Structures are given as structure tokens and as C-alpha cells.
Chain A
Amino acid sequence: GENVEQHPSTLSVQEGDSAVIKCTYSDSASNYFPWYKQELGKRPQLIIDIRSNVGEKKDQRIAVTLNKTAKHFSLHITETQPEDSAVYFCAASKGIIQGAQKLVFGQGTRLTINP
């Protein structure tokens, strides 16, 4: 089955600097790659996603890049702010099968923004 590896497990950056989190996946049939942010005690919230027919997607300070050949995708956060501190999970999916979408998550990255 699909396996998603995420690095680093912890990341500390100065406020205003950029943060990059990387994920690799094993199943070349995966075609959907969401990123979730989970603050302490809160629900995972989708922050950005990318489909396999696109190489890059940007939403204000957040961007995701996908390299299908290498089977890896990355989250880029620019101009980091204290409220970006959270655990970030990447995930991969092969789309809808039997009416359901199975997400396989990476192990998570705890991002800390230092003022």
C-alpha cells in the first residue's frame, strides 16, 4: 500500500523567515496531495492541496510543489508568523475508490515560529 514519509519531524524558524516541509510517497497512482494544519487540541484543517496534473500551487504565503517523477511534494510557507506554529501533516490519495477517498498521512512536522 501507499507509504508517505515526511521530513523534518520538528522545525524551528525565526518569524519572517521561510519554512519548507518535504514529503515523499511510494505509490505512483496517487494523484491528490493535501496539507493539513493541526493546532494543539484542534481539528486538522486543510491549508492547501494539489492534484497530480499540476506542478505548483500558491495561496498567499503558502505554496505547494509536486514532482511526480521523483514522487515528492513540498510545502513552502513564506514570511512566517507566530500563528503558523502548529503540526503540519501531508497526505496522499489515489482519488475516489468505491465512493471513498483514502488519505495516507505523513508522520507530521511540528513547526515553531520564534518571535
Chain B
Amino acid sequence: DTEVTQTPKHLVMGMTNKKSLKCEQHMGHRAMYWYKQKAKKPPELMFVYSYEKLSINESVPSRFSPECPNSSLLNLHLHALQPEDSALYLCASSQALLAAPETQYFGPGTRLLVL
């Protein structure tokens, strides 16, 4: 299996809702990433987990809460979002070998609309 999968593909939520995005990979990768991508813009890094521990938090608001239950799964819990949080949320993974630069593989994304 050489793919990163994400569910759901689309999500519409109100500002008072709680929802979760899910990402899964079975490539044995030990680093997993959440990116946010607005229309016509590049992906922006939000969080990185390495060996199931939070390694990087790019000063993301607390209404976004990441979770890495095991080495194959990555969740993003959403609560009290704002309309400006509407975007494509991309998950990515990489091997996390020591020191060497490596390829990040992206999932198809979840397109989120906050009303």
C-alpha cells in the first residue's frame, strides 16, 4: 500500500460543531503531517508528529487539536471553527529516517466548509 488516505472527502460544519478528520497510511512511515491549503495558495504546515509524538506545532489555534493514536493513524479534531478555517486539509507522511531528506507523500485531502 503506497497511499495516504483521508476521510471524509468533504465536510460541512457549523461553528458550534465538533468534528474530526482522519488520515491513515500503511507505508511504515513514522512522520505524519497536517497541512492547510486555501484556494490558489500553497500548503501551510500545521502540525508534525514523529514516532507518535508531536514534533512541530506551527502556532495553530487551539480549536484545532491533533492526535496520533498509533503509527498509522493521524486525526485532527475540530471544535468551534470559524468560516475562515474553510480550506483543504491535507495529510502527508514520510519515513522519518535520521538526517536524510525524504519524500513527503500527500493524501487527497478533506475539503472543509465552515458555515
Taking Cβ atoms with an 8 Å cutoff, the residues of A that contact B are 31-32, 34, 36, 42-46, 49, 51, 89, 93, 95-96, 98-103, 105-108
**Chain B positions 65 through 96: 1 when the CB is less than 8 Å from some CB of chain A, otherwise 0:** 00000000000000000000000001000101
From known contacts A105-B42, A106-B42, infer whether A100 and B96 are also in contact, taking CB-CB under 8 Å: yes
Q: Is B64 an interface residue, CB under 8 A from the partner?
A: no
Contact of B48 among A95, A100, A106 (CB under 8 A): A100
Q: Is B97 an interface residue, CB under 8 A from the partner?
A: yes
Q: Nearest-CB distance from A59 to chain B (Å)?
A: 13
Q: How many residues on chain B are close to A (CB under 8 Å)?
A: 32
Interface pairs (27), CB distance under 8 Å: A42-B108, A43-B108, A44-B43, A44-B90, A45-B106, A49-B101, A51-B101, A93-B101, A95-B100, A96-B96, A96-B99, A96-B100, A96-B101, A96-B102, A99-B50, A99-B96, A100-B48, A100-B56, A100-B96, A101-B101, A102-B45, A102-B48, A103-B43, A105-B42, A105-B44, A107-B41, A108-B40
Q: Is B104 an interface residue, CB under 8 A from the partner?
A: yes
B45–A103 CB distance below 8 A: yes
From known contacts A44-B90, A98-B55, A108-B40, infer whether A103 and B30 are also in contact, taking CB-CB under 8 Å: no
Q: Nearest-CB distance from A41 to chain B (Å)?
A: 8
Q: Nearest-CB distance from A22 to chain B (Å)?
A: 16
User: Which partner residue on chain A sits nearest B102 by CB separation?
Assistant: A101
**8 tightest CB-CB pairs across the interface, nearest first?**
A99-B50, A32-B101, A105-B42, A100-B48, A100-B55, A43-B106, A95-B101, A98-B55
Q: Nearest-CB distance from A75 to chain B (Å)?
A: 15
Residues of A with C-beta under 8 A to B103: 34, 46, 49
Residues of B with C-beta under 8 A to A107: 41-42
User: Which partner residue on chain A sits nearest B55 by CB separation?
Assistant: A100
Q: Nearest-CB distance from A49 to chain B (Å)?
A: 7
Complex Cα distance, B77 from A3, in Å, reads: 29
